[in-house]
Each structure stands twice: as C-alpha cells, then as structure tokens.
Amino acid sequence: MNFWERIYLPAILKGMWITLKHFFRKKNTVNYPDVKRPFAPVWRGWHVLKRDDQGRERCTACGLCAVACPAEAITMTAAEREKGEEKLYREEKYAAVYEINMLRCIFCGLCEEACPKEAIFLTDRIVPSDYVRQSFVFGKDLLVEGTEPEKRIDVSKRQKHIQEKIWAAGGVTQ
Amino acid sequence: MSVLLLFGSAWLWEKSIMVLVLFVITLTVAAYATYGERKIAAFLQDRIGPNRAGPYGLFQPLADGVKMFTKEDFRPNAAERWLYILAPGAFMFVALMTSAVIPWGTQLTLFGANISLQVTDLNIGILYILGFTSLGVYGIMIGGWSSNNKYSLYGAIRASSQMISYELAMGLAVIAIVMLTGTLSLKEMAEQQAGLNWNIWYQPLGFLIFITCALAECNRAPFDLAECETELIGGYHTEYSSMKLGFYLFAEYINMFIACAVIATVYFGGYNFPGIDPGSLGGLMGPIVMFSKTFFFIFVFMWIRWTLPRFRYDQLMHLGWKSLIPLAILNMLLTGGGVLLFGK
C-alpha cells in the first residue's frame, strides 16, 4: 500500500461521499398498506367463487377443480339442491362445503381453467398472513362473493378478450 | 447552619435548575439520537426508516422506551448479582456526569438575573472529561464480567483495551490543544475562539486524531468491537435485557452527544459563529449555535457509522498504537514548535 492508502483518509472520504449521495437520493420504498403497487391484470391471488347475475352460486361441485389442482389444495362436499333453494344455487347440485388450503395452493390457476361453470376465479387480492395454520383453510365464507352489488368481485379483467385489449394498451392496470 | 444558608442561596437553586434542565435535554437528545440514527441509516441506504409511530415516526423513541420498560427483566443465575445490577447504572452515571463542564453559551438573562450556561466552570474542564470517560470503562467491564458469559467477557475485555489504547492518543491530541490555548478550562477555550478564530485551523491533525479516538471511546462503528453482533452476539451486554439494556444503549448515545459537544467546543469554537453574537436573544443564541454544531457532529458520527465497515481487532490496535499515537506525538512537537516560533 502506498502512503495515501495507508492513511485510509482518501478512501474514507470517497466512501462518505458515496453514502451522502444516497442520502439525498429519492427513496424507492412503497408504503405498502397505504400505497399499493399496480398488479398485473392476470394476477393470481385469493380465489373467488362467483355468483351469476341473479345472485345464485355458479359452482355445481363437479370436482374438476380439485382434480386439476396439482397441489391438492381443494376439497369439497357436494349436496343436492332442495325445493325452495333455486334462488341460492343455479344447478341441481351444489357445494355444501368448499375449502381451499391456502398454504398448499401454489396459485397456478389450473382450477380456473378447469371450471366448466365459470365459477372459480383467481383475483388480485393477496391472502393475508396469520399466526394459525388452520385459519388458512378458506371455506365458503371467505371464497364466495357477496350478493350485494358492492360486494361483487370484478373478474372481467381476466376475460381473454379484455386482457388482449389491456395488453395492447400498454399492459398493467391499477 | 451553613447547610441552611446554602439552601437559601440563589446560587444553589440556579445550579440545581441548570442541572435538571441539562439532564432532561441530554436524555431527550439521546432518545432522539436513536431515532436520528435509524432515520439517517435508512436514508443512507435508500430507505425511509421508521414512519409508523406518529408523524414521520417522531414518537418512535417513546414506543421504544415503553417496549424497553415492559420487557422481561432477565438475570442469569450465575451472574454476580449486585455488580450485574450496578454496572448499567454506573455506565449511565458516568455518561451523564461529563456534561457538567461543557459551556453551552455565555449567559442567559432571565428575570433580570444572569445565569451562566455552564453547570460548573472547572479550571481543569478537559481533564475532568478525559477522567470521566476513562471511568466509563468500568461500567462496561463490570457488566461484561459479572454476566458470567464468555461473549460478554470478550466484549468487555475488547472494550477496555480499546478504550485504554485510544485514550492515550486522545490525551496527546488534547495536550497539543492545551499548549496552544494555554488553558484547561473549556469555558476559556470557547472564549478564545471568538468569531472564526477556531482551533481547527491550527490543529487539523489534532482534530483528526481526536475525532477518531472519540469514535473509539464511544464504541461506535468502525470501532464497535465491544459489541459486534457478528462475533459476540451483543458483546458486553449480551446478558442484559429490559431497561438495564436500555441504560447501556442510552448511555452510549449520551456519550456520543457529549463527545460531539466536546469536539464542537474544543475545535469548532463552541458557541461562537462569525456574525452571530452568542449573547443575543437574551443569551439563547449561544446554545442554539452550540447545539447546531453538536448535532452536525452527531450526524457525522452516524454518517461514518453507516459508511465504514468494522475494523478487525488487530487493525484497531495497529491504528491506535502504531499510527495515532506517533501522529499525536508529532502533532505535539509541531504545535510546540509553532507556539515557540509564532507565539499564538
């Protein structure tokens, strides 16, 4: 080492100059719960079980999603629709219990592709964290969308023809 | 009878209030230094730092304090009980004592009375500070030893040998200043540096030695070997928890505050600034200038900490014994020659 390297000072000042430049640099941090970065329109997050226009559950408990699921995260129990329940369920058969284990789910979206009734969709909602494993088994209370118009969950961005328009216009939407 | 007289005297009341105010200010500065440390660290690393507790995270020190107080107060079974309890208190006490001789301003005019902005003007002020910082090693040594943990002991031994080594160079740097100013009193040193006649212009090398040693004395990066997490878990305070740990961390920030105040007083003119009369605003201008300088140096300390990596222990010792002490002696010779030739 030569003299200037041995006394460290030029190197120290150089380093301090670099850190000082970073001090005034614009920060990249996103204040997550307050500010959210835009999601891709096809983001695969928390599933939703859709209702049709009249508020009836679309799912007929055929079990194709459970078969398609590579992580074996989906289980369901089918039941027959009784008289007087026509306003609740669209088909004669429905899922009395429908559970997705969010810790097993790999969010691949194969259930969405397998569904013949357009009942299950993945949405851009993130599954929240929790302390208890059991609470990650999401039942119908957390999966089926509400009947009121404001509780409906819009999955139109996931439809193929809309997606093509979005990508043509530049890709990401809020 | 004399005790009664003492209680009736305005002098005692004035000094008591001064001590209390200084105590509160020191603790507040130390508390907000932790916040400043985290914010500055974050900014230097392109982050934004604590911003959840209150606006801009300004209540973070309060939250940290509450956390410290409510943590479990753990004591190892094999610890030397009384020494273990005594050590953080001793460290804190020593840290707080040093602020007594620092002149924060000329004097304050309140209700027609002139109050000196210095708790006591010891004629050996700078020696008093050196003495008390040397005592600080006892808090660390007793704490590390009484914990009965090898990591604590390692940290304590490192801290004590480091502080003893760097005190030498620091003392030699101070001797050069004493030769130059002809006084040991911090008040007189500050008075001599009126305007821009600061000691830094005569003692740049001495200043470099002093600030390096001050970093080592405060156990701050790049010399924080006493508590380097990667090797020693927590160093001398590994076994401490709750407010005992809080005392250690707090006292370190107080030490840093005092070290910066001493640097500002000894090398950067204390409460003097060209164009500003330290006696104006009823005497408040002096403390404002003084605190600005102190805070600037606290920023520099933090800036250094978040820029430089930690020294290896042998490098630390080499720097102390083989570079700083010879340099300090050279500086002393140069100063002596300068004083002999030019007078000052």
B50-81 confidence digits (pLDDT tens): 888 888 888 988 898 898 889 888 888 888 88
In which element (H, E) is residue A77 found?
strand A74-80
Q: Which domain holds residue A125?
A: 47-167
From chain A, the residues in CB contact with B316 under 8 A are none
Quick one: pLDDT at residue A174? 46
Flag whether A174 is in a domain.
Answer: no
**Predicted model pTM:** 0.79
Task: Indicate yes or no: CB of B46 within 8 angstroms of CB of A28.
Answer: yes
Q: Is A18 on the interface with B (CB under 8 A)?
A: yes
Q: Is pLDDT at A173 greater than 60 in this prediction?
A: no
Task: Indicate yes or no: CB of A16 within 8 angstroms of CB of B208.
Answer: no
Quick one: pLDDT at residue B248? 87
Structure tokens at A129: 């964290």
Q: Is A31 on the interface with B (CB under 8 A)?
A: yes
Q: Is pLDDT at A106 greater than 90 in this prediction?
A: yes
The alpha-carbon gap from B124 to the nearest alpha carbon of chain A, in Å, equals 33
Structure tokens at B301: 């300390």
Flag whether A6 is in a domain.
Answer: no
- What single string gives the DSSP state of each residue in B197-241? --GGGT-HHHHHHHHHHHHHHTT-TTS-GGG-HHHHTTGGGTT--
Task: Indicate yes or no: CB of B46 within 8 angstroms of CB of A15.
Answer: no
Question: Rounded to an integer, what distance in angstroms lies between the CA atom of residue B291 and that of residue B39?
Answer: 19
Q: Which residue of B has its CA nearest to A21?
A: B44
Query: To the nearest 10°, the Cα dihedral for B60, B66, B67, B71?
Result: 170
Q: Which residue of A has its CA nearest to B52?
A: A31
For residue B140, which of B213, B234, B214, B72 has the smallest C-alpha distance?
B234
**Mean pLDDT of all residues belonging to chain B:** 84
Q: Is pLDDT at A101 greater than 70 in this prediction?
A: yes
Q: Is B304 on the interface with A (CB under 8 A)?
A: yes
Q: Is B51 on the interface with A (CB under 8 A)?
A: yes
Flag whether A28 is in a domain.
Answer: no
Instruction: Determine what percent of chain B falls in helix, strand and coil, rounding each to the nearest 5.
Output: 70, 5, 25
From chain B, the residues in CB contact with A18 under 8 A are 307
Of B48, B306, B323, the CB nearest to A29: B48
One-letter-per-residue 3-state SS of B20-87: HHHHHHHHHHHHHHHHHHHHHHHHHCCCCCCCCCCHHHCCHHHHHHHHHHHCCCCCCCCCCHHHHHHH
Task: Indicate yes or no: CB of A19 within 8 angstroms of CB of B48.
Answer: no
Three-state SS for A98?
strand
Question: Rounded to an integer, what distance in angstroms lies between the CA atom of residue B213 and that of residue B312?
Answer: 16
Q: Is A23 on the interface with B (CB under 8 A)?
A: yes
Q: What is the ipTM of this complex?
A: 0.75
Task: Indicate yes or no: CB of B303 within 8 angstroms of CB of A22.
Answer: no
**Mean pLDDT of all residues belonging to chain A:** 86
From chain B, the residues in CB contact with A28 under 8 A are 46
Q: Is B306 on the interface with A (CB under 8 A)?
A: yes
Quick one: pLDDT at residue A134? 92
B156-175 confidence digits (pLDDT tens): 888 888 888 888 888 888 88
Q: Are B289 and B276 in contact (CB under 8 A)?
A: yes
Say how many domains are in chain A.
1
Domain residue ranges of chain B, discontinuous segments joined by +: 75-342
Flag whether A133 is in a domain.
Answer: yes
CATH code, A114: 3.30.70.3270
Task: Indicate yes or no: CB of B45 within 8 angstroms of CB of A16.
Answer: no
Angle between helices B10-44 and B60-70 (to 10 degrees): 100
Residue numbers in chain B where pLDDT is lower than 50: 1
Flag whether A147 is in a domain.
Answer: yes
Q: Is A7 on the interface with B (CB under 8 A)?
A: yes
Of B47, B306, B323, the CB nearest to A19: B306
Angle between helices B204-217 and B242-267 (to 10 degrees): 170
Task: Indicate yes or no: CB of A19 within 8 angstroms of CB of B303.
Answer: yes
Burial class (CB in 10 A: 0-12, 13-18, 19+), A133: exposed
Quick one: pLDDT at residue A171? 61
Q: Is pLDDT at A104 greater than 90 in this prediction?
A: yes
